[in-house]
A and B are shown apart, each in its own frame.
Chain A
Amino acid sequence: MQPLVTIDKVEMRYGGEDGLLAVRDLSLSVAKGEFAAVVGPSGCGKSTLMKLVTGLYIPQQGVVTVAGSRVTKPVSIVGMAFQNPTMLPWRTTLDNILLPLEVVDRHRRRLRANKAEYVAKAEALLETVGLKGFGQKFPWQLSGGMQQRASLCRALIHEPDLLMLDEPFGALDSFTREELWCIIRDLHAAQGVTIVLVTHDLREAVFLADRIFVMSSRPGRIIEERAIPFARPRDLEIMYEPAFTDVVHELRGSIADARKAA
């Protein structure tokens, strides 16, 4: 399959020429429809990688391409979700989810005339994440886990080809987290969207991803790339199989080495 995202020998500094070197010699590629995970020590440049791919930052050296064209400005075919759900408290959950449509050019022109169609789509998304009927509630009336689900809906409403998730489950309890893993797994299977997930949780990465990239300490680059062979659809039960635990264990070793090398 052809790659949707490629990062080629990218170097990125914060604050200009002599600024802090966040990533160097960073190269990876993610195929269309693939589920990739990025793991690495804290502060190694994972969030930076996300921002490079979405075009929020432009690297000083190297090339980032998304869908065949070089990234020089924000690319609107991505949806993003962060650890912090960042719902706007003055909008209802439904209006929060519709927010990207008011921004993306190709939708904002159609939004007013086709409001009902978009609302129906948002409600369908809410149903897939288990929030049916919560659209009229305000975000502060929802629990943290519910807000995080709503923020997934917001990331998906404009039908992005690429979903970038930066530790979206980090702040949740383990049961909610497992529930959301399954939701993401099913979304990926159903919609064929390409997903890049940044996470601290190795079990999460192994459970969800087709391929895992391990980053070195800052300045970050990819030091290991690993395909995860488990057949899909995966059940939560596989996390208790020895083969699964072995992969997690090895990855853990790689990251420990990366931290020591720093």
Chain B
Amino acid sequence: MSTASKGFNWIKAAPWLYTAALFILWEGAARGFNLPQYILPAPTVIAQAIVQYWSAIWKNSLQTLYTTLAGFLLAVVGGLALGILVGWSRFIYAGLYPLMVGFNAIPKVALVPVLVIWFGIGTVPAILTAFLIAFFPIVVNVATGLATIEPEVEDVLRALGAKKMDIMLKVGIPRSMPYFFGSLKVAITLAFVGSVISETVAANSGLGHMMLGAQSQFNVPLVFAGLVMLAIEGIVMYAIMAWIEMRMTGWAHRSQTMAA
């Protein structure tokens, strides 16, 4: 607060300052050491590439955004449903948990060939890879929220004749919402990773595909332009999820600061 009174909020400005510093250092290094463009292009060169190839970059960015969001939405719906199911009963939990852990241990890039066999090259494998990789953290978080209901709350309600359904609706599900919204940040990032992986391996559009093409033509500035776009999309989606989390579960943050 004392910084605000001096008229400039350094904390708020810090992310921008550091980003600017990074690019300036990068530019300086690329010029100072005279690095060839095919090793590390300077930011100004990358910016030129972004302008030059804008229509291709824009089209492929939208494609990546589309597959990421589609996979992410599937993961939200599926993860929420399975999470509630797993958190519902010890029996389902005991049976499904090892299966899910095993499934999660498979590197998802190894599944892309299978998806290609089933659905052909293109959009569907990208969406499904994003879904498969983003879905696990949501399930685990929702199930954790349900499994950690305070026994006393449950006792108070059960003593009044509450059914399992009542306890889930009144306590379990609201209680697991902070866990759920918290997992969205992780899930969106993973979904993004999933769809780019799939695009790099088996697709005919998307940023991953575009970068692969640029690489084979030694168009390194375009490869880096793709990376920059990925970073921007990733940051924006993460920020949106963080904002949703704050909006939806403010009580959890505030009640924790109170308790602390």
Q: Quick check: which of B90-98, B156-164, B217-225 contacts chain A, the rest being far away?
A: B156-164
CB of A11, distance to nearest CB on chain B (Å): 21
Contact status A103-B155, CB under 8 Å: no
Assuming A138-B251, A140-B258, is B159 touching A88 (CB within 8 A)? no
Q: Quick check: which of B24-32, B166-174, B187-195 contacts chain A, the rest being far away?
A: B166-174
When the two chains form the complex, which single residue of B150, B174, B255 contacts A140, counting CB atoms closer than 8 Å?
B255
Whole-angstrom CA separation of A82 from B150 in the bound complex: 12
Q: Is A20 located at the chain interface by the 8 A CB criterion?
A: no
Work out how many contacts link A and B, with CB atoms closer than 8 A: 72
Contact status A141-B258, CB under 8 Å: yes
Whole-angstrom CA separation of A240 from B159 in the bound complex: 38
Whole-angstrom CA separation of A76 from B252 in the bound complex: 30
Assuming A100-B160, A140-B258, is B170 touching A56 (CB within 8 A)? no
Contact status B152-A84, CB under 8 Å: yes
Assuming A88-B171, A90-B174, is B158 touching A74 (CB within 8 A)? yes
What A residues does B161 contact at CB under 8 A?
Answer: 73-74, 76, 103-105
Whole-angstrom CA separation of A141 from B259 in the bound complex: 10
B residues 111-157 near A (Cβ < 8 Å) are 150, 152-153, 155-157
A68-96 CB mask vs B (1 if < 8 Å, else 0) is 00000111101010101010111000000
B155 (CB) vs chain A CBs: closest residue = A56
Whole-angstrom CA separation of A75 from B160 in the bound complex: 6
Contact status B155-A89, CB under 8 Å: no
CB of A62, distance to nearest CB on chain B (Å): 20
Q: Is B12 located at the chain interface by the 8 A CB criterion?
A: no
What B residues does A89 contact at CB under 8 A?
Answer: 251-252, 255
Contact status B157-A103, CB under 8 Å: yes
B256 (CB) vs chain A CBs: closest residue = A140
A33-55 CB mask vs B (1 if < 8 Å, else 0) is 00000000000000000010011
**A contacts, CB < 8 Å to B:** 51, 54-56, 73-76, 78, 80, 82, 84, 86, 88-90, 99-100, 102-105, 138-141, 154-155, 158
Top 7 closest A-B pairs, CB basis? A140-B255, A89-B255, A140-B258, A54-B159, A76-B161, A103-B162, A103-B160
List 15 other contacts, CB 8 Å, given A80-B155, A103-B157, A140-B254.
A73-B161, A74-B159, A80-B159, A82-B155, A86-B156, A88-B153, A88-B171, A88-B175, A90-B174, A90-B175, A100-B157, A100-B160, A102-B170, A138-B251, A158-B160
